[in-house]
Amino acid sequence: GAGVSQTPSNKVTEKGKYVELRCDPISGHTALYWYRQSLGQGPEFLIYFQGTGAADDSGLPNDRFFAVRPEGSVSTLKIQRTERGDSAVYLCASSLMGAETQYFGPGTRLLVL
Amino acid sequence: DAKTTQPTSMDCAEGRAANLPCNHSTISGNEYVYWYRQIHSQGPQYIIHGLKNNETNEMASLIITEDRKSSTLILPHATLRDTAVYYCIVRVTQGNKLVFGAGTILRVKS
């Protein structure tokens, strides 16, 4: 079956702009995760959804970052007033339940100029 | 989640077994050992996980020491396509997020 998909694959924006990154999880997976990966580092956790609600948002760096999952499937990560330091690969993963194996998408490469 | 320690990089000859070590001396009784890998420009890929017993699947084998303070991921016949960053992660059974370290860069050479 289809894996986790993320769109766009690449996004270039200017400092101060607003961006939205989309994640389509594997069908039937109730848990969804967002991670951020800077160059040369391992992925860092941002937020975890169980169904429609954010069960753990402790990794969001500040209030410019927000994520939603209104129908318990697709999720959107929203970044306001982007800064150059937000440039990274944003990864999405999903799993059947919270503690199960996570399956990752290919990521969205965000570049803030 | 317990901290893990892995070598920064390793080389392996194509066709030979690749043995990737991981130390997790502070692991708790309810923490699993997970291995993921990340091939260049792709998302992390699940490989295998275990609690106490050794595990094997179509990709790899996981050997966990009896005291659970360390483990080894074994790729029995490494190919060039196994070149990647390999992450060892320990995670509580009820946990959700994965905490990635720097991982081991495995280079498989012909």
pLDDT number for residue B67: 95
- CB-based burial label for B42 (10 Å; 0-12, 13-18, 19+): middle
pLDDT number for residue A26: 95
pLDDT number for residue B43: 95
Q: Identify the bridge partners of residue B86 per DSSP, sorted by sequence position.
A: B37, B104
* CB contacts, 8 Å: A91 with chain B: 43-44
Q: Is A45 helix (H, G, I), strand (E, B) or coil?
A: strand
Determine which of B98, B99, B105 to mutate to test the interface with A (most A C-beta atoms within 10 Å).
Answer: B98
Reply yes or no on whether the pLDDT at A19 is more than 70.
yes
* CB contacts, 8 Å: B96 with chain A: 31, 33, 48, 50, 55-56, 98-99
pLDDT number for residue B3: 87
pLDDT number for residue B97: 85
pLDDT number for residue B30: 85
Nearest-CA distance B73 → chain A (Å): 17
Q: What is the mean pLDDT of residues A24-37?
A: 95
Task: Please give the backbone phi and psi of residue A85, each rounded to the nearest 5 degrees, phi first.
Answer: -70, -10
Q: What is the pLDDT of residues B20-33, one digit of tens each?
A: 999 999 998 888 99
pLDDT number for residue B29: 87
pLDDT number for residue B91: 84
pLDDT number for residue A99: 65
Q: CA-to-CA distance for A26 and A30, rounded, in angstroms? A: 9
Nearest-CA distance A86 → chain B (Å): 18
Q: For residue A22, which of A106, A87, A83, A113 has the smallest C-alpha distance?
A: A106
Q: CA-to-CA distance for A104 and A83, rounded, in angstroms? A: 25
* CB contacts, 8 Å: A107 with chain B: 42-43
Reply yes or no on whether the pLDDT at A1 is more than 60.
no
pLDDT bucket at A2, cuts 50 / 70 / 90: confident
pLDDT number for residue B92: 74
Q: Which residues of chain B have pLDDT under 70?
A: 1-2, 93-95
pLDDT number for residue A100: 77
pLDDT number for residue B11: 97
Average pLDDT value over all residues in chain A: 94
pLDDT number for residue A25: 97
pLDDT bucket at A98, cuts 50 / 70 / 90: low
Q: What is the mean pLDDT of residues A77-85?
A: 98
Print burial letters for A32-66: b (CB count within 10 Å at least 16), e (below 16): bbbbbbeeeebbbbbbbbbeeebebeebbeeeebe
Reply yes or no on whether the pLDDT at A41 is more than 60.
yes
Given a contact cutoff of 8 angstroms between Cβ atoms, the answer to whether B71 and B63 are in contact is yes
